[in-house]
């Protein structure tokens, strides 16, 4: 669950930035909004400063995801979301991020999405229209 939470939050950050939302504003929302979780509050400082000193290495999280998937296979319990998260952690480990804290999954998500750690892609704009509900999200992107 922890690996998935960080991956989903990282995907949200990369998407928000691509849509023109300020990085710090989005991180503030993750830290204090309805999605706030103790894990996010602990790991978001690394996302703010780009430093990922290992508390729990990404490679170890990848290993644990593999163990969970093996147990689920043996018990005949499908875990499609966990399998997808494990693929992202596998790519991050293969890409040289395994020695960093598992919050460095942000770098892999950015690489895939062309964010700060990625190399391709441009910020969305032009003809892209995004409908945002009124409230905090609307204030972030459209205020």
Question: What is the per-residue pLDDT for 115?
Answer: 60
Contact present, 99 and 6 (Cβ < 8 Å): no
Q: Which residues of the chain have pLDDT under 50?
A: 119-143
Lookup: tokens for 65:
């995801």
User: What does CATH list as the number for 2-120+127-142?
Assistant: 1.10.1040.10
What spatial distance separates the first Cα and last Cα of the chain, rounded to whole Å?
Answer: 33
What global pTM score does this model have? Answer: 0.79
Which residues in 8-130 belong to E strands, given as ranges?
A: none
- 96: region left, alpha or beta (phi > 0 left; psi from -120 to 50 alpha): left
In the chain, where the domains are located? 2-120+127-142
3-state secondary structure of 57: strand
Q: How far is CA 73 from CA 4, 50, 87, 92, in A?
A: 19, 36, 16, 23
Write out pLDDT tens, residues 54-65.
999 999 999 999
Question: What is the per-residue pLDDT for 55?
Answer: 95
Write out pLDDT tens, residues 5-18.
999 999 999 999 99
- Rounded distance between C-alpha atoms, residue 90 and residue 125, angstroms: 32
């Amino acid at each position: 669950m922890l690996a998935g939470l960080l991956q989903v939050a990282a995907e949200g950050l990369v998407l928000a930035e691509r849509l023109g939302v300020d990085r710090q504003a989005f991180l503030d929302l993750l830290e204090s909004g309805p999605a706030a979780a103790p894990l996010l509050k602990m790991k978001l400082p690394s996302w703010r400063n780009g430093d990922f000193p290992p508390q729990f290495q990404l490679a170890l999280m990848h290993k644990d995801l593999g163990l969970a998937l093996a147990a689920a296979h043996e018990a005949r319990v499908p875990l499609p979301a966990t399998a997808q998260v494990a693929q992202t952690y596998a790519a991050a480990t293969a890409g040289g991020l395994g020695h960093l804290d598992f919050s460095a999954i942000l770098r892999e998500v950015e690489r895939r999405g062309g964010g700060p750690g990625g190399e391709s892609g441009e910020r969305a704009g032009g003809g892209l229209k995004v409908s945002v509900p009124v409230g905090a999200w609307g204030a972030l992107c459209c205020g």
